[in-house]
Structure 1
Amino acid sequence: MPHEHHHGCGHDAHDHDHDQIDDLGPQDSLFNQIDRENIVALNGDGDPSVLVKPWHDRLDETKSLQSDDDDELIVHIPFNTSVKLRGFMLKAGPGAVTPKKVALYTGDSVMSFDDLSDKVPLQELEVVESREVGEYPLRTAKFSNVSSITLFFPESQGADKVQIYYIGFLGSWSEHKRGPVVTVYEAQANLADHEKIQGTDGAFSSAQF
């Protein structure tokens, strides 16, 4: 069906601190590898960056993202570096506004609802209704070398909206590094490559003492 859902981006809502934040969660938490400033939500009512919280705020229910026109929601999350995902964490709901499931896709571009209708997700998870943070294992082989991920919540568990409080990922990461700069030095000078000395007809004269 056609969609005219609103497009939300964390960057437009307010300024963010680019510095890393102490995250006292699991050692393989990818909180500081998420580019929180550039998270995008389609059909989201509010700032999607509030979903990515430090571990000690994971149960906080004062900030959330709710779907807007109906119970479909897309959240696109870029990473600052290449990551390998092993787990997905979610706090949503409670009750009927809990998403029924979530489909995961990788790719740099923000996918629309129409884009996703033609794609098969890398993995689809059934969401458990709970006030706690649910941890869902991912098929690591399908989520290696990931630069961004798209989460599609296609329906609620009975309400006309979905509501999400917290999203997190577990895994490993590698820093993007430039290749080494190689400087080539001459092992032996080639006189033909050097400028001629005026007054010598192109010859290099030896020093006169």
Structure 2
Amino acid sequence: MSHGHSHGGGCSCSAERSDAPERGVEYGLYQKIDLEKLQCLNENREGSGRTVFRAWEERGDRTRFVESDDDEELLFNIPFTGNVKLKGIIVIGEDSDAHPSEMRLFKNIPHMSFDDTEREPDQVFNLNIDTTGELEYQTKISRFTNVSYLSIHISKNFGAENTKIFYIGLRGEWTEAHRHEVTICNYEAAANPADHKISQIAPQSHFIS
């Protein structure tokens, strides 16, 4: 079945495509994922969910993919090595009903389960068939600053029993996480001279020799 690309219904994707080298740099956030701790729930082959997060230049590799197991749903729990400002996402599937049709994003909720997906997501996208990485789904950046943990819930596809994904690209900015607690403790521990005035000196000026 062929699925056309329509911008109706509040589509938040960009159809502009570029194979310029800087495109690969923009989609370099996969390097800032802690892949050892990444989880993909309902994957039919253990560890396959990690393989879809890779270099932009490798997005067309059809030998690496993740496929859902019991039903059409997939849930990616993605820990970053710092703080991310997430700007856009690309999802590549195949031209079939196994392509995802809905993507729900949650931020900073470690180790989500499918039960947790019943809560309100931070953003929802209706997806179109994309086999080459032409479509970018742009996030509401104000909601996706300081993201240390991203969960991607693929909740639906176009009607197949299972969902198949070849590539997920993440575009944004990464900054190193800073620990502010130590600085705060140092300030609180510092003595304030104003709190330790020596009041005994003043009466001495009243003595008459």
**CA positional deviation for 1:101:** 0.7
Q: Deviations over 1:103-124 (max 9, x none)?
A: 000124211111111x111111
Matches within 5 A, 1:172-191: 172-178=173-179
How far is the alpha carbon of 1:79 from its aligned partner?
0.5
**Counterpart position of 1:15:** none
TM-superposition CA deviations, 1:137-179 (whole Å, max 9, x none): 1100000100011111112101000001111211112112456
Q: Is the 8 A contact 1:78 1:108 kept in 2?
A: no
1:132 is matched with which residue? 132
Give, as a single letter, the amino acid of the residue that structure 1 aligns with 2:100.
P
Shift of 1:59: 1.1
Q: CA RMSD in A?
A: 2.3
What is the correspondence of 1:14-93 to structure 2 with a 5 Å cutoff? Answer: 25-27=24-26, 29-46=28-45, 47=47, 48-93=49-94
Number of the residue aligned with 2:8: none
- Rounded Cα–Cα distance in structure 1 between residues aligned with 2:74 and 2:159: 15
5+ residue gaps, structure 2, are: 1-21, 187-209
- CA shift at 1:31, angstroms? 2.1
How far apart, CA to CA, are the structure 2 residues paired with 1:94 and 1:153? 17
Match of 1:122 in 2: 122
Contact 1:92 1:130 in 2 (8 A): yes
1:88-167 pair list within 5 angstroms: 88-117=89-118, 119-133=119-133, 134-167=135-168
Q: After TM superposition, give the deviation of residue 94 of structure 1 in Å.
A: 2.7
Q: Distance in 2 between matches of 1:36 and 1:49?
A: 7
Equivalent position amino acid for 2:29 in 1: L
- Aligned-pair identity in percent equals 31
- Distance of aligned partners of 1:24 and 1:140 in 2 relative to their CA distance in 1, 3 Å threshold: closer
Match of 1:20 in 2: none
Runs of 4+ in 1 over 6 A off after TM superposition: none
Partners of 1:121 and 1:178 in 2: how far apart?
Answer: 28
| Contact 1:92 1:163 (C-alpha < 8 Å) held by counterparts | yes
Q: 1:34 Cα deviation (Å)?
A: 1.3
- The one-letter amino acid paired with 1:42 is L
Task: Using the TM superposition, give the Cα deviation of residue 93 of structure 1 relative to its aligned residue in structure 2, in angstroms.
Answer: 2.7
What is the TM-score when the length of structure 1 is the normalising length?
0.71
What is the rounded CA distance, in whole Å, between the counterparts of 1:129 and 1:106 in structure 2? 25
Aligned length: 162
